[in-house]
Chains A and B, each alone.
Chain A
């Protein structure tokens, strides 16, 4: 997943506005400022929801709803945490509520794998050398992985997604989940154990 904001070498390009002032402007109803905030965070918010739901359509709806809700709730944003953490919290709560409602109606709608996947040496090794099921291809592996993730409880899945997939540090996850770092670490450990058991065929 690429980072949303990239700086350009063009010296005439306007300096990027800091997030705090964008939030202030958006709170006053400035939709252009909010548009910039959405662009900055859309990929990460979408990705988190997508990895939680394993469904592109649901992720699309939930991500849009999260940004709309965040805009409507901007006046209540006190600035105690960063906008990014606050936004994440909205998206995560919305997603967990959604997953609880659809509990027994899990339907995967997976995104295609990026072309670069085949160039990742770790993954190539997984499907060519270390896997006992040598005929397995990346798409099958993707499906198995998503199935295994969906078997985790929502809080455990969230920790794995945020840390092992998104690369978020423990303390940031604790802020998003409104829990302490110890809880995050123990959930991560338990979730990994579960996943290891579920995917043992592919991790030999």
Chain B
């Protein structure tokens, strides 16, 4: 390495020239105050840097913006599409017939399911041999008997069931 060092001696002497390149006089007198001022102000010098990070994580976003910059027609089209989407969203939400239908369906399903749930969904009384003298006993029997014939949907049972002799 020492031979190499000697070979580069002239170069190192030339590189010493760089040490004489100095900033304008008095530059460092105000440097730290500029830094502290920016820290105090809370001004983020790196606001563009954080945007750059965002584009780094989602490069498609950067490309999209480039396309919008190049052709504003795309930007207006995109904005129009967003507005339409928003408009239909509001209309859909405000129409009671459209908006409430799925909710009603959901409510009936929940109601019929909850009607069965204390008995059909809980196998505990059956397993423990506890038999009640009230209706749930009959309902349990009905569900059990229909299940034998392959009717796997217990939700349909309570609607068609009638208690004989009542």
Binding site for B on A (CB under 8 A): 1, 31, 34-35, 38-39, 42-43, 46, 50-51, 56, 60-61, 63-65, 67-69, 71, 110-114, 116-117, 120, 122-123, 126, 130, 138, 141-142, 145-146, 149, 160-161, 164-165, 185, 189, 192, 195-196, 199, 202-203
Interface majority SS (helix, strand, loop, mixed), chain B: helix
Secondary structure of the A side of the interface? helix
Q: Are A141 and B17 in contact (CB under 8 A)?
A: yes
Answer whether A196 and B21 are a contact pair too, CB < 8 Å, given A46-B31, A71-B39, A164-B15. no
14 residue pairs from A and B, CB less than 8 Å apart = A31-B36, A31-B40, A51-B18, A51-B21, A60-B23, A61-B45, A68-B35, A111-B23, A112-B22, A117-B20, A120-B16, A120-B17, A123-B16, A189-B4
Given the interface pairs A56-B23, A195-B11, A196-B11, the reply to whether A64 lies near B17 with Cβ below 8 Å is no
Residues of B within 8 A of A116 (CB): 20
Assess the B21–A69 pair: CB atoms within 8 A.
no
B13 within 8 A of A: yes
* CB-based contact A142/B21 at 8 Å: yes
Contacts of A38 in B (CB 8 A): 31-32, 35-36
A165 and B15 contact, Cβ closer than 8 Å, known pairs A42-B28, A116-B20, A203-B10: yes
| Contacts of B1-28 to chain A: CB distance below 8 A | 1, 4, 7-8, 10-24, 28
- Complex alpha-carbon distance, A189 and B1, angstroms: 9
Contact A111 B22 (CB under 8 A): yes
At the interface, yes or no: B117 with Cβ under 8 Å from chain A? no
B97 is an interface residue with CB less than 8 A from chain A: no
B71 at the A interface (CB under 8 A): no
Which listed residue, A34, A111, A146, A199, touches B36 by the CB 8 Å rule? A34
- Checking A68, A113, A196 against B17 with a beta-carbon cut-off of 8 angstroms, the contacting residue is A113
How many B residues, CB 8 Å from partner?
A: 31
B45 near A126 with CB under 8 A, answer no
Query: Given that A120-B16, A126-B13 are known contacts, is A110 also in contact with B28, CB under 8 Å in the complex?
Result: no
Residue of B nearest to A65 (CB): B45
**Is B34 in contact with chain A by the CB < 8 A criterion?**
yes
* A2 → chain B closest CB, angstroms: 10
Residues of chain B within 8 A (CB-CB) of A203 are: 10-11, 14
Asked if B38 CB lies within 8 Å of chain A CBs, one says yes
Closest 7 CB pairs of A and B: A38-B32, A122-B13, A117-B20, A114-B20, A111-B21, A203-B10, A164-B15
Contact indicator A164/B38 (Cβ below 8 Å): no
Query: Which residues of A sit under 8 angstroms from B12, Cβ to Cβ?
Result: 164
Nearest Cβ in chain B — how far from A58, in angstroms? Answer: 12
Chain B residues with Cβ below 8 Å from A113 are: 17, 20-22
Q: Mark B146-164, 1 if CB is under 8 A from A, else 0.
A: 0000000000000000000
- The A-contacting residues of B in range 28-79, CB under 8 angstroms, are 28, 31-36, 38-40, 45-46
